[in-house]
């Protein structure tokens, strides 16, 4: 059941329906699976909750070290944060 709901959240994110995706995701009981944490990472990334997205994708890589999509998302987020952070220090 939760696998189908996680798939639905993934589809809603792809359809740019982030608010609806968040509602569906919040009704899913947390589980220790790669799929759960990957979808959580996607959702947090969509809302620019970078720390939560990093934690979720890192959990995916911890559970599945060969997961290239999670590694790519972590790299993307790091690039975003590295791009933003230097500006914070320039008056």
- Domain boundaries, given as residue ranges, for the chain: 2-88
Which pTM does this prediction carry?
A: 0.87
82-91 pLDDT, tens digit each: 876 555 555 5
Taking the C-alpha atoms of residue 47 and residue 43, their distance in angstroms, rounded to an integer, is 7
19-74 pLDDT, tens digit each: 999 999 999 999 999 999 999 999 999 999 999 999 999 999 999 999 999 999 99
Structure-block tokens of residue 73: 């998302």
CATH architecture of 2-88: Alpha Horseshoe (1.25)
Burial class (CB in 10 A: 0-12, 13-18, 19+), 6: buried
Higher-pLDDT residue of 54, 79: 54
């Amino acid at each position: 059941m939760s696998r189908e709901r996680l798939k639905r959240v993934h589809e809603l994110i792809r359809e740019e329906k982030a608010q609806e995706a968040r509602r569906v995701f919040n009704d899913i009981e947390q589980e220790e699976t790669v799929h759960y944490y990957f979808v959580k990472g996607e959702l947090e990334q969509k809302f620019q909750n970078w720390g939560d997205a990093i934690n979720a994708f890192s959990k995916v890589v911890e559970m599945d070290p060969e997961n290239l999509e999670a590694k790519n998302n972590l790299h993307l987020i790091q690039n975003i944060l590295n791009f933003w952070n230097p500006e914070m220090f320039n008056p």
